[in-house]
Structure 1
Amino acid sequence: MPESPSSSSAPAAAERSAVKAFGRFELRALLAKTERSMVWLAADPRIGRELILCMPRVAPNSEAAMAHWMSMANAGARIEHPKLAPVMEVGRVEQWPFIAYERSLGETLDERLRRTAAPTPLEAAEWMSQFLEGLAFAHEAGHAHRDIQPAHFLIDAQHKVRLIGLEVAQEVFPANVDFNTVTRRAVRESAEEDILCAGLLLHRILSGKRPLDQADLHAVVQQMQPLGKEVIRLGWETPHPIPDPLRAICNRATDRQARQRYLLARTFLRALEGWRLVAQQDEGGAIQLLLDKMQRNGHLPSTSGSLRRALGGNSGFDAQHTNVLSELVLKDMALTLELLRRVNNALRQQGHQGEAILNIQRALQMIGLDGLHAAVSTLKPWPGVLQPQAAERLKAVMQRVAKAGEVAQALRPAGYDSEVTFLIVILQNLGRLLLAYHLPDDALQMQHLMQVPEPTEDQPQPVGMSEQAAAYAVLGCDMDTLGTALTKYWHLGDDVMRMSRRLPVDAPVHKAMDDVELLRQTASLANELVDCFGLPETRRRAALDVVTRRYAKPLSIGAKDVQEALFGSPEKARERAAERPAPPDLEGESSHLREGAASAAAPSLRSRLTARATK
């Protein structure tokens, strides 16, 4: 067996001399040795080049086992992908099989980390993204690696990464086994361990230290929960500050609970790519994927089938006042968003930069009945492209958003338009709505990560991930980043983008200095209050009290206001809103957010169209 020397005695010296030759190869250095495999730096005098030889730690124990090993290794060598190192040779020297690669493909990860300064978080994410591309392709082709190690991570001078060693570490069976009938370890189970080891590789790169101070990642896995007792989480003493999204991705990859980890290399890759592209200020990842899907399938499916049918028959809608019609439109979030998109796009084309309309009555006055017909006709009817279960989840999100909108209307400061307030709540949830429609599997994955796991002896009071951490781990960006990117895509202006971001839940709330911030706070309060109803009932009341106290002084509200908004009648809530003292004049007042400007007397659509025809 080609092992590295361990002493300076005469027998050891003779042994070193003996192991220098491995068939026609000259073994120059043992790059890595793990429980399952070895990686050697070798020279081939026949071609005058250096090679990397990967071989199992334990030789196949029979000719049948050798034939099986060679068959699987050759099958893996036939897989072609830019991130999988091309195999130069699959061969054997006596009882030792090997796979040979060109040394010119690069150095191992450990060699790179010893030789150069620690990579930046962006560089680390780029390296791991390339590595995961190759691993995902191999898994999808039906192969597992089974011994992901730093020595199997090759990187060249141009930062191009390739995976080596596929199918070197295979299952060891008794010598008399029939390989045509034996049930091998499930590829899926092996693939999940590959992904966990890839997470440990990312941890190794970001932390600058070996996990648990061990070189063999398979040995680390054996000590991690649930097999052992160790927990691997990225510490705070790292060579570079680690951004929160990347930290969440890394920690999810090595989470103590197996159900929380990435189960597919492609999912791990998407999260890293999503963060990397956002960090580079390039609208890629989840953002670009959503934009592409919106181009094909629209933003949301329409829920107002009756309105669609009525408009198709033109049954009396031309005589309706816009305030009556706006109430019908606001019940359909897809139509509401489509009208906002259309009217603000028209404003931009007319040269009104930086202005935005956030009132459905004003939007209807601008586009008229024909514009409403056109908006309705472009929307897909419910449930759009969704399967029934995903449609139910989207409906639940819409109901929660609608409830938050009603609460915000009840709690809004006196003098501010109710439709504007409702629409800001929708925009603060735009990322959640579009994610539930266009990427329902990702939304469900986030939902699972946020669920509180069952208590265990080690974790008697477990907690689920926060929404932000779950979004980082799945998408590589948070919901606010997703939502504001889409409002930017619709050209809704800087004020709207600012209002569409919720206040951070871990930051204090200060008194607003302008209308925009005041309405942003009101919508954030409503969303946080409604979010409390997703908590277990034993924690709900305390959470509601915390949110109420947080916003009480800046928004001049009390517990009675919140109770009425959440549980009272709409009429009483509106009465309390009207009785609430109006705030003083604020700096940078945005008149379109005030009730007098946004909800001025609205003529009927018929009179609006008539006026347009007589011009």
Structure 2
Amino acid sequence: MEKCIGRFEIRRELGRGAQSIVYLGWDPQLEREVAIKTLHFARADAKRNEALLAEARSVSRLRHPNLVPIFDAGEEDGDPYLVFEFVDGPNLAELIAREGRIAPARTADLMRQVLDALALAHAAGIIHRDLKPSNILIDAQGRPRVMDFGIARRLDAIDVEKEHVGITGTLGYLAPEYVDGRQVSEKSDVYAAGLVMIEMLSGTPWVKGGTSVSMIHQILSQPVTLPADVSIDNQLAGIVLKACARDPALRTDSAAQMKSQLDDYLGAAATPIDTTETEASAEARKRDTLNFLIRRMKHKTDFPALSDSVSAINRLTRSDKESINRLSNTILKDYGLTNKILRLVNSVHYRRSGGGTISTISRAVIVLGFDALRNIAITVLLFEHMQDKGSARELKEAFLRANLAGCLARDAAREFMARDAEEAYVCALFHSVGQLLAQFYFPEEVAEVRKVMLQKNCTDEIASTQIFGLSFSELGLGIARHWGFPQGIINSLRPLPEGLVKKPTTHDETLRVVAGFANEICASIASVPKEQRTQATNAARQRFNAAMSFSDSQLQNVLEKSFAELKELAAVLHVNLTQSPFVRHVKEWTGARQETPPAAEEAATASALELTVLGDPELRDQSETGEVNAEGVPDAAQDILAAGIQDISNSLVDDFSLNDVLRITLETMYRAMGFERVLLCLREPKTASMVGRFGFGADTSEVARKFRFPLEDAPNVFQLAISKGVDIIITDIDDPKIAGKIPDWYRKTVIAKTFVLLPLLIKGKAVGLIYCDRDRAGGIVIPEKELSLMKTLRNQALLAIKQSM
């Protein structure tokens, strides 16, 4: 029989502290999951329990979207317990540990929501008193949810608190007046909010670990300052430091006031231009304007998601041995993105790399290289987010121009820096990212830029500076830094000086010249009347002649080749080229002939999706949505499995890496069968254990670290699979017939209710195990044909292991 607390069934442990344990529970009356926090004190105290339950009743009356509500409270065997809404997501401490630092605008936005919830509690006379990152959960929508008012006290009961000499709360987030004299007020929570913001911005707590004596000394004697490596503007720094003032009289008065300050920060008006300003003040103004623009972009849901994705990919490097798996996982989270990238890498351009048809992201890394696939992913991610219907035409034109410049730079770079051709592509592609993002997020202002250009007959750099306070290229530079692009790419975004371009002497300067050349050629084609285009492109060639000499025929050939690549990319991303003025101009300049008659081309593209609806699940075709049949298996499962088998066969013929083959095996199963997680375990001879290594799906990195069990374990399903070499499907781990065979370590590690075990045996000895799961009981059904293909994949993995021994 399952253990119960009150009416609630306990499913598994979520975490524990010195005096508490948190469980995932089930409410059988309302049929919903809940979080149950049990509290155990060294000394029984009925009055204390009653006071805590009374506090819980007070907190339970609070309703706010950024609070985790209390559903119930009671006592079990003399210990109090609290029942909360179960929020399925990490806490802020885990988010900081995973991301390192959180961008200033996002930090401000998260904290303003936390403060809004605190302000509501304060108005009801409740102080949190233990605000810290681990007590702020991040839900599936990315909202912060404040929890654990378990040690809070009513404001009207604070005088009683002075009778107690012990410290209540987490020492590193307590205000000096409380540590020194047990004084508690709303400002205690404000102080903690400031420290939490510093931790979000820097990645580390302000009060460092150590003995409690040393921590108390820091709290009482050292004024709070921002770490030297935290670079934020003066407005945000002032908000944070005022919240953390040691003297409560100098501190921000309330959570509501601090929230208002952050609202102003996120929505502040741009600083007006001062024509008499010094060079230093001009740079400061540009930084303020850039921060303002980023804050405005932050308020559109697309930009934070785009920033997080691009930043995460940019943090990956070839020197990081886990990067290939992390890159693959980042891409595979989005089924539509995965299919677009695979279609792109199988286009005519990329198939020249060899290796036959590519059906997995892991195989794409092997054939194309890490850098190429990372660049493809960033490219597709960027334009997947360009879905604004208000300026669809302008966005599509900017998209096509940027991509043709990228293709042109890549093809031109192959003449003299072949190894860096992919980097040249990204440099040219993002050369105009400032203008592209401005068009998406500020279409009205960009329309004003065009008016100024016509009225004053000036460049877009001059006009955009007048309207925005900084130029398109400066906006692009700021965004590139914000996204963590390598310095070489950032340098390439700087406009080249007027006049003849000198021959570059460094790698970064070469990338800058190539990106500039490609974009100037595309600009001359896009914005110059037909009769003047040849003259304009010749002028551009002459400007770059000393740096990279191209004859008229060479430029014609490279541009035709690049245009063919652009059409492939447009087809993959469902961008209709038939109505594009820019495409028409390119065709006119190159004299390119349409491969199909106009009517046929129009019919072929009639069903193609415009850029404005990319990402709309109702408009994607079946191959992009991953539709499933009645058994819960993706319709394309057999095709994906068969393609993966071919991928591995191609890899085994080549000079393969064992990890490459194993990654392809796992990724194929993950994509084909719609599993939540697929994980590889390998035998560790020194400890006689089976240990998780890597996988695909939700939280697999964390699960792999905890996935460890002895080879000679007590009888259970894992032991049976590896000792007998049998494939096992567990439909429901809580089924009474099988529940006793599910080991405790598994229940504490994974939330999945159903899983598959495919052991890897060589000469009867287990060398590894493939684990696949789904969260919902009964969620895995593997038809006979799919099971046969999965076993073939497993056998190929075994063959690779044997060949590498």
- So what's the TM-score if we normalise by structure 1? 0.37
- So what's the TM-score if we normalise by structure 2? 0.29
